[in-house]
Amino acid sequence: MVPPASSPRSGSVTPRVVFPNKVLPYLLVAPQLAITLVFFYWPAGQAFYQSMLRQDPFGLRTKFVWFANFRKVLADPAYLNSIKVTVVFSLATAIVAMCVALLLAVMAEKVVRGKGLYRTLLIWPYAVAPAIAGMLWLFLFNPSIGSLAYMLRSFGIAWDPLLNGTHAMILLVSAAAWKQISYNFLFFVAGLQAVPKALIEAAAMDGAGETKRFWTIIFPLLAPTTFFLLVVNTVYALFDTFGIVHAVTGGGPGKTTETLVYKVYNDGFVNLILGDSAAQSVILMVIVISLTAIQFRYVERKVHYG
């Protein structure tokens, strides 16, 4: 995905490139196509085929059942619960990650000295692998040994993410959002620099206060960046957070933090019900394709690219 740092619509303005050779363009895109075929279409096709089979783990007995696995999965209360969990988790993660990043970016813009240092420090967490980020937060909030858990307890909060589902979700969202803040920060900083200074100065001379300037000028002009980040963050929360869930809660307590992706893993690789797991991953694929399509089709129209 290419960020719209420079306007993505500019492609329509520049004239089309025409290759004199008929074969060369195909050769040039061939490697990318090959990668897509091998790493997306092939496994996706296999998942689709597997989703219509009932099979024992070793593949010794196979029965073709058409869409029975889908019917079973969609009727399963545990699956509906995991949809709910995923919606809550994704929205919370995206909102927290974007709000905090925007706040930090605006603040970092105001810093006069050591701007580079602040930015570097704020971008750092992005280099941390999800599972490690998860472990980090797990340690901080571990009811027995975590320093932050100790602080919470001293405030009289009975912190127990092992048994309290809400606490577990808060922990998970914190870890997932923390990791994504840096990424969002980077794009917001870039977006802020693209806001024409003249506009802000003019507004200031007309007597607009800082808050007013932000909401009426800066925020609308940041819309393309915000929109792009919304897509990226939602997809991130949906798919890239497996490592965090696996490391922090393992879907528990009960099933309160079992997201769709985690359920695919758990049913497939722990419970060894391959058909159900494949059906779930096909549903997940449909969800993401339609989500991205909707976002780019409808939400994008409302975004004004500067």
Partner 1 sequence: MKSFGFAAGVAATFMTLSSTSAFAVTQISWWHAMTGANAEVVDKISKDFNASQSDYELVPVFKGTYPETLNAGIAAYRAGQAPDIIQVFDVGTGVMMAAEGAIKPAADVLTSAGMTFDKSQYLPGIVGYYSKPDGTMLSFPYNSSSPILYYNKDIFKKAGLDVDSPPKTWNEVWEDAKKIKASGAAACGYTSTWLTWIHLENFAAWNDVSWATQQNGLAGGDVELKINAPIFVNHFQALADLAKDGTFKYGGRTSEAKQIFLAGECGIMTESSGGLGDIVKSGMNYGIGQLPYDSDAKGAPQNTTPGGASLWVFADKSDEEYKGVAAFFAYLSKTEVQEYLHQKSGYLPVTLAAYEATKKSGFYDKNVGRETPILQMTGKTPTDNSKGVRLPNLPQVRDIQNEEFEKMLAGQQTAQQALDNAVTRGNAAIKEALGN
Please report how close the Cβ of residue 138 comes to partner 1 at its closest, in angstroms. 11
Q: Taking CB under 8 A as the rule, does residue 253 contact partner 1?
A: yes
With CB under 8 A as the rule, give the number of residues binding partner 1: 25
Q: Taking CB under 8 A as the rule, does residue 144 contact partner 1?
A: yes
Separation of alpha carbons 195 and 223, rounded Å: 11
Q: Taking CB under 8 A as the rule, does residue 250 contact partner 1?
A: yes
Which CB, 55 or 226, lies closer to partner 1?
Answer: 55
Please report how close the Cβ of residue 286 comes to partner 1 at its closest, in angstroms. 24
- Binding partner 1 (rule: CB under 8 A), the pick from 29, 151, 270, 293 is 270
Which CB, 81 or 292, lies closer to partner 1?
Answer: 81
Strand partners, 62: 55
Q: Which of 293, 251, 282, 272 is nearest to 86 (CA)?
A: 251
- For residue 177, the surrounding DSSP H or E stretch is helix 165-194
Q: Taking CB under 8 A as the rule, does residue 61 contact partner 1?
A: yes
Which CB, 171 or 189, lies closer to partner 1?
Answer: 171
Q: Is 62 helix (H, G, I), strand (E, B) or coil?
A: strand
Burial of 196 per CB tally in 10 Å (0-12, 13-18, 19+): exposed
Which CB, 60 or 205, lies closer to partner 1?
Answer: 60
Q: Taking CB under 8 A as the rule, does residue 38 contact partner 1?
A: no
- Both tokens of 192, joined, read 């802020």
Terminal alpha carbon distance of the chain: 20
Q: Taking CB under 8 A as the rule, does residue 55 contact partner 1?
A: yes
Written as one string, the DSSP assignment of 219-277 is HHHTHHHHHHHHHHHHHHHHHTTHHHHHHHTTT-STTTT--HHHHHHIIIIIS--HHHH
- Binding partner 1 (rule: CB under 8 A), the pick from 90, 184, 226, 266 is 266
Judged by the rule CB under 8 A, the positions of this chain that interact with partner 1 are: 54-61, 144-145, 162-165, 250, 252-255, 266, 269-273
